[in-house]
Structures are given as C-alpha cells and as structure tokens.
Chain A
Amino acid sequence: MARLDISALSLRFGGVRALREVTFSVADRALVAIIGPNGAGKTSLLNCVSGVYRPQAGRVLLDGEDVTPLRPHQRARRGLARTFQNLGLFKGLTVLENLLVGRHTHLKTGILAGGFLLGKGRREELLQRQKMQELLDFLEIGEHAQKLTGTLSYGLQKRVELGRALALEPRLLLLDEPMAGMNAGEKTKMARLILELNEKRGITIAMIEHDIGVVMDLSHRICVLDFGEKIAEGTPLEVRRDAKVQAAYLGAA
C-alpha cells in the first residue's frame, strides 16, 4: 500500500481547470518530486493533498485512508506536514516557539508551563524539550532558538520552516519549493538535509522544486505536470528522455 495515493483528482477554479484527472502515488519511504512549468498545477496538487483546496473529483488516500473529506488540521493530525512556497512562518514568534507550534498535535495542554510542574507533567516536558533540542541540532539552528523568526536570514528561515514541519513527526512531508530563492551554498545544505531525512530517518517526502539539477540528483521518482495534466512519471532518467517533457520545457520542435 502506498503512503499517498492520488486518484483521478480534478480541480477547477471557475473556468480554469487547475488539475485534470491527476493520478499519482508515493511509496513508503520514497522521495518524489513534482515538477512542471509555471502554472502547471503543482502547488494546487499539493494544496489538494494537504486539504487547503477541495477537489471537485477524485480522492486522496493517506496510508489507505480516504482523507478527501478531511480539513487541513485533521490531515495534519494524521501525520501530514508541509512547508509553503513563500515561507509560512510565524514571524513574530521565536524559532523555538515555531517548532513548538509544529508539535501542537503531540503536546498535551499546559506542557510548556516550565518550572512549576512536577512528576508526570515535568517528565513529559523534559521529553518534549529534548526532542526540540535534537531537531534544533539536526538543522544547526540551535543558536537561534530564542530569536524572533522574522529577524533571521532567508536561508535560515527556510530551515526553521522545515524544522517546524518535522516537529510534527510526519508520515508524509510535503515541501513546496524548499530551495526557492536560495544561493548555491544554502541549496547544497538543504539538499543534504532532505536526503538525510529521507535516507536516515526514513521520512516519505514529496516535493515541488524548480531546480532540475537538484530534482534529478535527489528524487527516486518524478511526476511531471503541464497545464494541470500529468504528462509523465518515472525515474529521473526516464523523465529526462521523455519527449513530452522535453516539449513542455523547451517548446515543441
């Protein structure tokens, strides 16, 4: 059973058909990329998976469970985490607070109360703190934990956002252009993190990315969208050789 199954998904905005019968699945522990020219429907697809958009037809299955009727927060509670194209950070909150919000589904009320809890609550709090610390260390943002997120550099903010999604301990991680707007150094760093998450931690990842070099290097499989339709799917090699893909990207010869 696939981690994520999208079947015959169609989405319309008025007269615009953003997605047309897209069928696609992501295997457990896979790292897949969704690519396509601007306006191909990549983010729309992601939004249908995370529950922001309600498709007119088709279904989204998470580990075999039909989540199509569920609202975004209900899907998050089932282990679906995401990042946003143009950063969806809570800029007025500190880095640590952002991560804690990401952990919302795992926290019990009052846990963060710090200091005046004893016994069970105290142990629980220590456990949570330990997990946060691990996450901060992994992303190498520990020194910024108490800073307001809005004051950090763009590259760091991207990492914080990734961390916040990870804090949810996702079964499926959706990344919307994790490397957009980054310089070469930051991109390499982010690519390494994504790879490590997938290979060492076994997290299933579906990402939208424009940097074809990165996509070809990292992904196990690639799904190519154009004008709301899936025009190709396969390994990086297969996709690269696909005539339709070449036409979509370079224009028909």
Chain B
Amino acid sequence: MEFFLQLTLNGLVVGGIYALVALGFVIIYKSSGVLNFAQGEFLMLGAYVSLTIMTAARVPFAAAFVLTLLFSVVLGLLMERVVLRPLLGQPIISVIMVTLGLSSVLKAVVQGIWGTDTRPFPAVFPTDPVMLGPLPVSLGYLWSLGCVAVLLVLLNLFFRKTRLGLAMRATASSQQVALSMGISVRNIFALAWVIAAAVSAAGGMLLGAMRGGADGSLAFYGFKVIPVVILGGLDSITGAIAGGLVIGVLENLSGGYLDPLVGGGVKDVAPFVALVLILMIKPHGLFGRAHARRA
C-alpha cells in the first residue's frame, strides 16, 4: 500500500508538470490550430536559462524563476513574431512543420551554448523528507506540486476574469467573430505563444530542480505532452490538467509494478500505449469536443 501511495504521489508531482506543459500546448492549438512541437525545447531552455541565472548571478531560485519567466515571455513573443507571423494564412500543416524545425534549431542552440553534458542544478529545494501520514515525502516534491497548483490557479483566473483571457477564449471559439468585436487575433496568437513558452519554462525549471540537473533529455518531455493532450482532449484546458495528472500517475504505477517483471523501460512506453488505446476507444479524449461530420 505504501508503495502504491508513493508511486501515486510521485506520479501526481510529475503529472502536474505535464499538465502545465500540456496547457501551453493546448492554448496554442485552441487559439490558432497549430500543434507546437517545440514545446519540449521551450521547457529545456527554461531549465538551462534558470540554471545559468542561478549560477552566474548567484540569485536564489525564486528570483531566477521569475527572471526565467520574463525571458520566456520575450522568447514567446520573438518566436511568434519572427517564425509564425510570416506564415499567417499558410496551410496549418506548413506551420506545424516549422515548429518541428524550430525544435531542432532550439535544441542545437542549447547544445551550442551549454554543451551536451548534464549540468548539475544547485540544490533548490530542501531534500530532507517530511512525513505525510505514514508516507515519507521529499519536500521538493511538495514544493513543485505547490508551484504547479499556484500557476494553474493563476491561469484559470486569467482566463475567467481578465479582458485578455476572455478575448483568448472568444478567439478560440471563433476568430471571425472575435475580430468583429475589435479583438486583434494576431495579438491573441502572440499571447498564446507567450503563455506556452512561460508555462513550459516553469515546468522545465521544476523538473531541473527535482532531478538535480539539466540535460538534453528534458526536451523529451515535449513528446510526453502528446499522450496527455490526446487523453484530455486537444481543445480542452481542463482536459490538459486532468490528462497530465492521469498520465503522470499511470506511468509511475506501470513503471513501479511492471518494470521488475519485464526488466525496465515500461515507464517511458506506458503513456504511448495509453495514447494508442485512447485513440482507438475515445479519439476526442475525455474533455475534447467531438466534431460532427457529414458522411
């Protein structure tokens, strides 16, 4: 039982980060119909940038966190302006291919600057465990979970209670109608990229802090997001959060119980097995909208 709870909790912690990154993915998809395959690189870049800020400027993690978010805002704006805006009006598939290229370029840039070796992260969270009932839990995990929760609540408030959040939801519903309300849809696209870059960077920083290091494998989390959003429904923000948590728990449980039987590796495969199953059983995901089509 303790083993089960431990795995579930670990799953929730990682799942929370998946949720955050998936949210960024969904926001871009909802507002512009583009699948952003560079999401994992945004995450990796966030980890490296915060690492550099912490080691070079010797500031605490909280300050580095905020500075990295600011960096991501600029990065998101830059990406939208330089890479995506010129493609406005082009077929969506072209834009998606460009994000694939963008992911390669960003990966190369990161390797060029920081090399391919694992860079150790300074100890950010206290490592001593606290007892949560019968369960010893790393304080760092709780911190991470807390940060994710706060960010999700803030984003939720943003979408419900602010003018721009409302404008984003309106644009996701219909660009044409949003335009007729005086909403600049281009600015909304830019905002979507900013948010996506920022939440991914936040995820990258938390992952880096928990794993104690940053390396190229962080970019792989961009792909983990795909089963998450397919499970939750590509166009659902609630789905991204629920899907993130479910996939996080699923991979930990399956890894914990099945790895000893088959000799390891289940954790990495499980989300994608789930992906295939979901597509066969419920292709629009848990919260996604099913589109009625004429035969």
**Which residues in A have some Cβ–Cβ distance to B below 8 Å?**
50-52, 71-73, 76-77, 81-82, 84, 88-93, 97, 100-102, 104-105, 107-114, 164, 168
Contacts and interface: CB of A to CB of B under 8 A. Distances in A.
A110 B163 contact: yes
Given A72-B179, A73-B183, A104-B183, A92 B163 contact: no
B173 interface: yes
Secondary structure at the B interface, as helix, strand, loop or mixed, is helix
Interface string B152-186: 00000100011110110110011011111111110
Nearest to B162: A110
B179 A88 contact: no
A175 B256 CA distance: 61
Contacts of A82: 180
Given A90-B173, A101-B170, A164 B164 contact: no
Given A104-B163, A110-B163, A112-B166, A92 B182 contact: no
A88 B177 contact: yes
B179 A73 contact: yes
Contacts of B185: 73
B169 A112 contact: no
A164 B283 CA distance: 35
B169 A88 contact: no
Interface string B121-162: 000000000000000000000000000000000000100011
A100 B179 contact: no
B180 A107 contact: no
A109 B163 contact: yes
Contact of A100 (B166, B173, B176): B166
A110 B154 CA distance: 13
B177 A84 contact: yes
Contact of B162 (A50, A102, A113): A113
Interface residues of B, number: 21
B180 A92 contact: no
B181 A76 contact: yes
Contacts of A93: 166, 169-170, 173
A90 B180 contact: no
Given A92-B169, A113-B162, A168 B179 contact: no
Contacts of B176: 52, 72, 88
Contacts of A112: 161-163, 166
Given A52-B180, A112-B163, 12 more contacts: A50-B180, A72-B179, A73-B181, A76-B181, A89-B177, A91-B173, A93-B173, A104-B167, A104-B170, A109-B164, A111-B163, A112-B166
Nearest to B164: A109
14 contacts: A84-B177, A90-B169, A90-B170, A92-B173, A97-B166, A100-B163, A101-B181, A101-B183, A102-B181, A104-B183, A105-B182, A107-B163, A108-B163, A114-B161
A116 to B, nearest CB: 10
Contacts of B169: 90, 92-93, 97
Contacts of A164: 181
Given A88-B177, A90-B173, A73 B166 contact: no
Nearest to A52: B176
A88 B157 CA distance: 25
